[in-house]
Amino acid sequence: MIHSIPHNLLLLLAFAFAVNLPLGYLREGTPRLSVLWFVYIHLSIPFLIALRISYGLGWGVVPYSIACAVLGQILGGRARRWAKR
């Protein structure tokens, strides 16, 4: 049986990914474990929580939003390393 993915969930996951791309890019240029490094990693979390709550999505979507945020961070960091070449 095919289940449709709620529109709000797709928006949340796209937001998590898209916002973390530039944050990952910026994070890559800071010293590891510095204050700014932690800020870039965690800056999107309050917005993701607010969006999840406003869309009425439960705790079950949290792992997926974290996965999209981490993927955005990784790809943003790789983009900066690639641009430095």
- DSSP characters for 22-82? HHHHHHHTS-TTSHHHHHHHHTTHHHHHHHHHHTT--GGGHHHHHHHHHHHHHHHHHHHHH
Work out the average pLDDT over 7-12: 94
C-beta separation of 79 from 29 below 8 A: no
pTM greater than 0.85 (yes/no): yes
- Candidates 7, 9, 18, 22; CA nearest to 76 is 22
Rounded CA separation 53/20 (Å): 19
Is residue 63 scored above 60 in pLDDT? yes
> What residue ranges do the domains of the chain occupy?
7-84
